[in-house]
Amino acid sequence: MKKATIYTGTGDNGTTSLIGNSRVRKDHKRVEAYGTLDELNSHLGLLCAALQDCDTKAFIEQVENDIITLGSYLANDKECECTIGAQEIEAIEKAIDSLEAELPPLRQFILPGGNEAAARAGVCRTVCRRAERRIVSLMDECTVDSKAIVFVNRLSDYLFLLQRKLAGDTEKKWQKPCR
């Protein structure tokens, strides 16, 4: 049996294969969409490394699995069903509701940071927002199940609230500029 290698050389010309075997440029809107989700997953892994709360870690690890599922859907050049659905969206909404119940009302803009874990959550949120923009851009070229956008939109809301929770007393608030 021949040993598989990670390098194939097939992408050396700036193209990559989609699920379904068509080839597209590596800067194609579809590749940008699922590639940004992949980047988000890497940042979520980094965030998990800074977390102490086992329940939050477990939730984020489930989200990471869902992101791979969503990325696979977006990487498919054939009509297929998005298996991210109401259950995954509801799980994020429940987590949002739980975080909101713990946090004081938001009265002004929040700056990223406060501490390392909160800053990592902030980076995750902004990468998540970029993924959302890439998915919306992909919608100009092909049909994308609306659940994909809803999932990513809810996830960015969750990450914002997680950033606030992790910052706690170190939360940095925007200071209005002098007039």
At the top level of CATH, which class does the domain 28-102+109-168 belong to? mainly alpha
- Return the top range by mean pLDDT from 26-30, 39-43, 168-172: 39-43
Q: Where along the chain do its domains lie? A: 28-102+109-168
Structure confidence at residue 26 (pLDDT): 55
Q: Would you place residue 57 in the very low, low, confident or very high pLDDT band (cuts 50, 70, 90)?
A: very high
Tens digit of pLDDT for each residue in 67-93?
999 999 998 877 778 889 999 999 999
Amino acid 172: pLDDT: 87
**Please, which pLDDT band fits residue 126 given cuts at 50, 70 and 90?**
very high
**Can you tell me which residue has the tokens 């709360």?**
53
pLDDT at site 19: 62
- pLDDT of 169 reads 87
For the chain, helix, strand, coil in percent to 5 are 60, 5, 35
Residue 127, pLDDT > 90, answer yes
**What secondary structure, in 3-state letters, does 76-135 show?**
ECCCCCCCCCHHHHHHHHHHHHHHHHHCCCCCCCEECCCCHHHHHHHHHHHHHHHHHHHH
What element of type H or E holds 23? strand 23-25
